[in-house]
Amino acid sequence: MTVSLEPGSPSHRLHLSQLAIYLRHSRQILAAWDLYSDRHSDPETFQPHEDAYSLRQQKRDADTLSAFGLAYPHADELVHVGERQLAQLSPSDRTHRYAWQVRELREATERLYAAHDEWLALRRALPKNAVPGTEAFDEPLAESYAGAWSPPRPVGHPRPGPHRPPPGTAPSHHHPGTSRQRPYLHSPLISIGRSTILFDHTAHREHLQNVGHFVRDSKEILDAWDAYSDECTDLYGWPYDEHTYGLRQSERDAETAEAFEDLRASARHLLATAAVQLKTLPATAVQNRWGYQLGVLQDALERLDTLHEEWLTTRDSLPADARPGTPAFDDAIARYHAEAWSYLDDWATHSQALVDIDSAAQRTPSPLAPAPAATAVPAPGRTAAVRR
């Protein structure tokens, strides 16, 4: 890439103004899509009501790519200039999120250019009669737009910080700040399966308190980790001392897993109860995000249960002398905690929805509640008897 753009030059200002136009247009496009999606999808399952939903989604993708047209030719230059300007900032003016954002933009730009090259190669391979307006042309173009609008992300931790490979493995080239791909938005709500619903209201309230405790504790753990990470990493998030950083990251993972233990036993019951509560709430009392959040929590819990079973199998297969404090045991449990951490983070992020759904259910009269007893109204001119 040959970069001729100079910071602060008229060309740089022009390209930044084009980028600002794209940001405004893309927000408008996304706001229109969110409004359409809310009106044409089920608030509980997020499943679309009509076949036209996918066509409207394709229009969103195409409109966004069209709005990006002015910024597209110079996107890599803008990112390069941003990197240079960031490096020249004084430490007091830098924030770690700038580094993550510039790095994210660099990788997103590379993926967009790659997607464009793939589309050009695919278009050249199309039959001659595949012209705009035909299914042979429009379908692959829509797939290309969809891939560019929201490309798949690498697997990794959802929060900033270099990915630490398990002990004994080669360092990964996975970049900081990437996130594990979320469940597809229109997946079914959750499957309750064999989970039982909590009719013991006292126990249910205690379990909801455990949710609050976990959210609070996990936030304190994460805040402490973020403070450490900010102090012990360079501008781009790479640690000054990888060994010490890895040990501190393992400590974060273990503390988060320990904080979740009180909640683990009742997690399925809470999900099942929230799912039933959500179905009985009137539409006016439901937040659209709740169905999605329950889906995220369900998926995360299933992965946590699987990882826990795998850990128990691993622990049972360790040598007899592999006890806590020995490398054989500590390395194995560190790998388990590292793999579980991002799913625990899902619970830290979304489990407040369980409390919010319950609060909404408590404020909403149950359709099964008996109607209030009718009160006799005295006839005009007569005085009701007063009990003394």
Give the pLDDT score at 204.
Answer: 79
* Alpha helices per DSSP H over 265-318: 267-280, 288-317
Give the pLDDT score at 338.
Answer: 94
Tens of pLDDT along 73-129?
Answer: 888 889 988 888 888 887 766 666 777 788 888 888 888 888 888 888 988 899 988
Give the pLDDT score at 170.
Answer: 32
Q: What is the mean pLDDT of residues 287-314?
A: 91
The CA distance from 193 to 206, in Å, is 23
Tens of pLDDT along 130-176?
Answer: 888 888 888 888 888 888 887 544 433 333 333 333 333 333 333 33
- pTM to 2 decimal places: 0.50
The CA distance from 183 to 295, in Å, is 8
Give the pLDDT score at 332.
Answer: 94
Mean pLDDT (the chain) is 77
As separate numbers, helices (DSSP H) first and strands (DSSP E) second, the chain gives: 11, 0
Contacts 24+ apart (CB under 8 A), 356-363: 356/287, 356/290, 357/274, 357/277, 357/278, 357/281, 357/290, 358/204, 358/208, 358/273, 358/274, 358/277, 360/277, 360/281, 360/285, 360/286, 361/277, 361/280, 361/281, 363/285
State percent of the chain over pLDDT 70: 75
Give the pLDDT score at 66.
Answer: 82
Q: What is the mean pLDDT of residues 199-223?
A: 86
Would the pLDDT of 376 be above 70? no
Tens of pLDDT along 55-79?
Answer: 888 888 888 888 888 788 888 889 9
Query: 145 near 62, Cβ under 8 Å?
Result: yes
Would the pLDDT of 374 be above 60? no
Would the pLDDT of 356 be above 60? yes
* Alpha helices per DSSP H over 2-95: 10-39, 52-67, 75-88
Domain boundary assignment for the chain = 10-149, 201-363
What is the pLDDT confidence band of residue 45, given thresholds at 50, 70 and 90?
low
